[in-house]
Each structure stands twice: as structure tokens, then as C-alpha cells.
Amino acid sequence: MHEPAVQLDGVSFSRGTRKIFANIDMRIATGKITAVMGPSGTGKTTLLRLIGGQLLPRQGTVRVFGQQVSTLRHAELYQLRKRMGMLFQSSALLTDLDVFENVAFPLRAHTKLTERLIRDIVLMKLEIVGLRGARRLRVEELSGGMARRVALARAIVLDPEMVLYDEPFVGLDPISMGAIVRALKTINEVLRITSVIVTHDVVEVVSIADEVFLLADGRIEGHGAPHALYDDSSPWVKQFMHGLADGPVPFHYPAPSLMNDFLEV
């Protein structure tokens, strides 16, 4: 049995007085597509930062590839991060470089490969995301979906063991979303990597994820295969998976009564 790629034990984390996680345990399987879902503000992106060592838990341990992140020295953490790729929600492409050079950037920064090898690797990664023919386009010439796919090619150019995806479907039209979903599935199958997808897009996740964690109020409210969660008896899981307006997750952020606000001087 494979060791989990990521293992959280008793992890708690807060921002000021606001509790983000409260004593959560999580196992992210090696070589699988795992989705972490929940409404906005439930700590999904915070979880990615804990995995990458940008944040440290107030309590508990985060282990990545068997290493406890909080105990690593700077050089060790740097080496661990080289085993991970990251797809940012904003794509974070370098606007003064074309598509080819954006994807080649990590290879130039972290390896001593020849230009011929760099060229071959970049073209292979662009082929996987369907953009080999767009390699000389400038960033401003790309649609939102194309930019996301370029960022995806860059995230896998160093052949990482795990890729973290921060809201990969946000702001995409249906065609672009379909292309991204297909690219994520292809990458996971071809490269046999571990994928961790942070999102709130239920339909897309159900089509590709092997396992789903649902977060709310600092806890894991649901966990399992995506199709099985549709039949989960938890009111919170039912509300989220079916997109119900009424349920334990309120529409309004906590606030005093409207009348009190109107009367306040």
C-alpha cells in the first residue's frame, strides 16, 4: 500500500480570531485526483499553502511525501517544493515572455539542460495541453482558457510528483472548462502524478476526481467518492452537492439586525 502523498494529523489553523481549521485529519492518496471543495472562505487555498510550507499549522502536523513540513530547513523545503507543481488561479504568466518562454522558465531556472532538450520538453508539455501551435503567442493574445492551459504546461514542465490546482475552473467558458478538465485528466493518467484540486465546481470535479473532501466551519463535513457524496445524508453535504439555497450554510455573513444598522449613528 502506497504512503499518502499528503497527510494531515490534528491540524488547526487560525487567522487572528477566525478559525480556519480545527483539528482536521486528511490523507491524500498518491497517484490519484483528490478534490478539496467547499464554499468560499472555508480554507481551501489555505490548505494548499500549508502543503507547500508557505503557512505552518498552529497545531498538528502536515507531512508531504513523508516529510514533516514544519521541521524542514529552508534548503530542504526548497527541494520539497521542486517535487510539486502549482497552477495558480490567476495563471500568473510572465507578461513579457511568450508562451514557449513561460513554459521554459522553470527549466532555465532549475536545470542545466541544453537548449535542444529544453525545446523538446516544452513542446511535449504544450502538446499535452493542446497548445503546441500557440508557442509563439504573447500572453496578451491568449484567451482565459488558453492562459490557464499554458500555466498548466508550466506546472508540469519539471515532471513533478504532485500538482496543486487553485480554482482551475474559475472564470472559464464551457468550452475552455471542458478543455481544462480533459487536460487535467490526461496529465494524471499519462504522467501518473498526484493531483490536488481546490474548487467549488461540483459538476467538473465529479467527472474527474477519485476522492473528494468537503470543508466547512473548520471541519471535514464530507469525504468519499464524488458520486457517493450525492447520496450522503449530511444536510451540509446535501446542500453543497446539490446547490441548495436553504441549508446549514447561510447566505448572509453574520451581522446585527438590519434595523440596528439603519438606526446606528
Partner residues linked to 138 by β-bridges: 98
Residue ranges covered by each domain of the chain: 6-263
CB 180 within 8 A of CB 148: yes
The C-alpha cell at 217 is 466551519
Residue 162's identity, in one-letter code, is: M
In angstroms and rounded to an integer, the radius of gyration of the C-alpha atoms of the chain is: 20
pLDDT along the chain (265 residues), means of 10: 89 89 94 89 89 93 95 93 89 93 95 95 93 95 91 93 90 82 86 90 85 90 86 79 72 74 73
State the pLDDT at residue 256: 79
State the pLDDT at residue 251: 64
What is the Cβ-side half-sphere exposure of residue 232, based on CA atoms within 13 angstroms? 22
State the pLDDT at residue 240: 79
Return the CATH class of domain 6-263. alpha beta
Strand 194-199, strand 33-37: pairing: parallel
CA distances from 128 to 113, 175, 204, 246 (A): 21, 17, 19, 41
pTM for the whole structure: 0.85
State the pLDDT at residue 252: 67
User: How many C-beta atoms surround the C-beta of residue 187 within 10 A?
Assistant: 22
CA 98, chain centre distance (Å): 25
